[in-house]
Amino acid sequence: MTLYYRYKIYLLIQVRYALKLAYKGTRYRGWQSQVNGTTIQEEIEAQFKRIFQMKTNILGCGRTDAEVHARNFVAHFDAGDELPPRFLFRLNQMLPPDIALYEVFKVNDDFHARFSATYRKYIYKTTFIKNPFRNDEVLFLFKKPDINLMNKGCVELLKHKDFAAFCKSSSDNKTTLCDLMEAKWIEVDGGYEFHVKANRFLRNMVRALVGTLLNMGYGDITMEQLQDIIASKKRSESGKSVAAKGLYLEEIGYNWDEFRK
Residues with catalytic function? 65
Instruction: Give dist(CA 50, CA 30) in Å, integer.
Output: 22
CA dihedral 44, 46, 48, 54 (to 10 degrees): 150
* CA dist list (Å): 163 to 106, 109, 120: 36, 33, 16
Beta-sheet strands, E only, within the chain: 14-23, 59-60, 69-80, 99-107, 119-127, 139-140, 180-188, 191-198, 247-253
Q: What is the 3-state secondary structure (H, E, C) of 7-76?
A: HHHHHHCEEEEEEEEEECHHHCCCCCCCCCCCCHHHHHHHHHHHHHCCCCCCEECCCCCCCCEEEEEEEE
Instruction: Give dist(CA 166, CA 197) in Å, integer.
Output: 15
